[in-house]
Structure 1
Amino acid sequence: MIQVCSRCGTRWNVRDRQRVWCPRCHGSLLAPSASPPPSVWSAPPTAPAVRPSQQKTPPRLPPGYRWIAVRPGAAPPPRRRPRNAGPTPRYAVIPRWGLADRFDIPTDEQTEARRGPSMGALRATLLTTIAVLGAAALVHVIRYVLLIVNRDVLLNPVVAWVATWLGVVVSVAALFLVFATFVLLTNWLIARRAAAFKHVGRQEHRPLWALRAGCLVPFVNLAWAPVFVLELASVEDALTRLRRPITVWWVVWVLSTAVSVFAIATSFTTDAQGIADNTVTTIVAYLIAMAAMVLVAQVLFGFERRPVEKPAKRWVVVAEQSPHTQEAEEDRTQSGVPVEAQGQNPAA
């Protein structure tokens, strides 16, 4: 029995024992065959007579051999190796030669940006107004103390003049600051309402003159300004959160206006006791006005804490509960100590 090496082509007579490796080159030996394959050095055997019926059948190869298709003609040209493109380009900054995204906004949707006072200006004005109102109350407290001292001791004319005119200057400054605060808050309310109504897709039903008149006209603003603020909270879906601060500010503001009107009405008295009583009323009026400013600042910061574009509700994705999860939740809601063992029927 002959085995041919697949590497060097040496034929080995293995007799009756099949081998795997070639003793010469250690290549793998092909399957053994009874008749050795023809060698290139041996003389070609004489072809036997072939019958016409056997010409169409291809010659059978010995075991371990197979036909390999070869391309006719010359050998194909060698493949061209890809050209070296060099190192990968790197950029120190983002390239600007790419395609730019342009979004054409329709003409009807091109509206003016929100115009209103900045939060820095509002915060500074409110803090200044609160500080001046507190300073005015302190000056009138000192003036009341001087009135008590003046009952027994004659005051120095300079001290009396300074106490009188310092109270007047502080009162005028507080009046101007309160008016400036009202104007800034009115502008903020108009701009905030415009942004809120635009965000929800509704039209502002209050004209601009009505908003300004309802916020700046004395005694009229007591009824309409809080209504405008409540409407804004309702549009922004924040009425539940801001109803109580707005109501408290409304009540304190009405009380401050009433006390201030009473202090102004009793400020024309000329007797000593009337002047002292008016000084006490003025101190209380300044303190309540300062409290009203603090409360309106709380309402303002309550609105600004959440922008108009940010939704009040946040939707989260909840996975669908499987039957095993529902059974586990039902078991958790029941008593911790089971009456019967799990998997057994209760006793009759």
Structure 2
Amino acid sequence: MIQVCSRCGTRWNVRDRQREWCPRCQGALLAPSGFAPASEWSPRSATPGPGPQGPAPQLPAGYRWIAVRPGAPPPPRARRRPLGPTPRYMSIPRWGLIEHFETRPDAAPHAHHGPTGAVARATLLVTMGVLAATAFIHAVRYALLLVNRTVLLNPFVAGAATWLAVALSVLSLFLVIGSILVLTNWLIARRGAAYAYHGQTDPRGVWQLRAGCLIPLVNLLFAPVFVTELATLENKSSVLRRPITVWWIVWVLSTVLSAFSIATSFATDPQGIADNTVTTTVAYLTALAAFLLTHQVLAGFERTPVSRPVKRWVMVPSDASTTTSAATPAAEPESARAVESDGQNPAA
């Protein structure tokens, strides 16, 4: 008596006793088939039929061939653990949505901090005011010298004019030096910010910029070059080329007049003193003009910050649209529909 396991498909010869469970996998055994091991569908008793291999053996109803690997049955599959309820959030979770990029300190361009444009402009305005007052007091002193040729001046008036001119001259000297220092620091900071905005480092070192702007006579050559480089970097050379050139020429002229005024200040005769007073007055007026042009150049840079370049991208029509619009005449405000038919003269 043969019974087949419904789970693993093993055929068991139970002889004359019917069983219910498979000894291998504990599966349920099917009902006895009543065929002996050497049945008609056994490979041993299969009779060859027509053809090279003969007909396929016929299985009883309710049976099918199952390929079973030899040996012990495979272990049962492990059941997956329940995943639990679906997580719910009262708000959008922020974890994993922010990326932090650590930048090495030496990798980022270093921007130098200096005085702002407002501080530089205020310093220039104060210096220009003192220079104007100094030029005015020297002009008054020259007028007193002319009056003194025929009329004896009051000692208090002559002393006040002389010492006031000296005090204002000293104050002007300190303010000019302070303004040059402030403008140098502003130029260094502005160049550092401009190069940092473009992801670069200023090719000229701080010591080179300070030496080129603070050393007398050397600054006449290098300081305008530094300012021109900054204007080119910020795409403002077309706007500031002329103001920078005029400022450069007036600055050189002011330096020459100042040097000549200092060289002739040791005169002791009345005519030499009068000539030196005129030269000093003109030198102060030229210095005032140079600082006025410096303020104009500074305002040209400070008109737009470094983070907002002058160049702007605007929408323009394509070539096809431009060609079509150029070939098509301008539309009239009224309808262009012809009143008369083509080929006919209009009515009289």
TM-score range, shorter chain: 0.5 to 0.7
Listed as ranges, the gaps of 5+ residues in structure 1 are 1-94, 334-343
2:251–2:287 CA contact under 8 A, matched in 1: yes
What SS does the aligned partner of 2:221 have?
helix
2:110–2:201 CA contact under 8 A, matched in 1: no
Counterpart-to-counterpart distance in 2, 1:310 and 1:224: 27
Q: Secondary structure of 2:329's partner? A: helix
Residues 261, 276 of structure 2: 8 Å contact kept = yes
Tell me what 1:235 maps to: 233
| 3-state SS of 1:124 partner | helix
CA-to-aligned-CA distance 1:91-115 (integer Å, 9 cap, x gap): xxxx9x9889675442345565540
1:253 equivalenced with 2:251 (yes/no)? yes
Alignment of 1:1-348 (within 5 A): 103-108=100-105, 114-318=112-316, 320=318, 326-332=323-329
* Deviation of the 1:238 alpha carbon: 1.3
Residues 200 and 163 of structure 1: CA distance in aligned 2, closer, same or farther (over 3 Å): same
User: Which residue identity does 1:173 align to in structure 2?
Assistant: L
Structure 2 length as normaliser, TM-score?
Answer: 0.64
**Cα distance in structure 1, aligned partners of 2:268 and 2:280:** 16
- AA matched with 2:262: I
Q: CA deviation at 1:327?
A: 3.4
Cα 1:215/1:274, change in 2 over 3 Å: same
CA-CA distance at 1:234 after TM superposition: 1.3
- Deviation, 1:309, is 1.6
- RMSD value over aligned CA atoms? 3.0
The Cα offsets for residues 265-320 of structure 1, whole Å up to 9 and x where unpaired, read as: 11100111111111010110000000000001111110111111212221133455
Distance 1:235 1:327 in 2: 38
> Given that residues 134 and 284 in structure 2 are in contact (C-alpha distance below 8 angstroms), is that contact kept between their aligned partners in structure 1?
yes
Deviation of 1:223 (Å): 0.6
Write out per-residue CA displacement over residues 183-217 of structure 1, whole angstroms, 9 at most, x where no aligned residue. 00000111111111122233322121111011001
- 1:166-197 alpha-carbon deviations (Å, 9 max, x no partner): 00000000000000000000001111111111
Q: What is the alpha-carbon distance in structure 2 between the residues aligned to residue 321 and residue 222 of structure 1?
A: 49
Alignment partners' CA distance in 2, 1:247 and 1:98:
56
- Aligned residue for 1:268, secondary structure, equals coil
For 1:159, give the aligned amino acid: V
* 2:37 corresponding residue in structure 1: none
Q: Which amino acid aligns with 2:148?
A: N
Task: Give distance in 1, aligned partners of 2:128 and 2:161.
Answer: 21
Report the 3-state secondary structure (helix = DSSP H, G, I; strand = E; otherwise coil) of the residue aligned with 1:132.
Answer: helix
For 1:305 and 1:328, locate their aligned partners in 2 and report how far apart those are by CA, in whole Å. 37
Q: Residue 110 of structure 2 contacts residue 192 of structure 2 at CA under 8 Å; is this kept in 1?
A: no
Q: Distance in 1 between matches of 2:198 and 2:108?
A: 17
- Which secondary structure state, in structure 2, belongs to the residue aligned with residue 243 of structure 1? helix
Shift of 1:227: 0.7
Residue 65 of structure 2 corresponds to: none
Q: How many residues align?
A: 245
Letter in 2 for 1:188: W
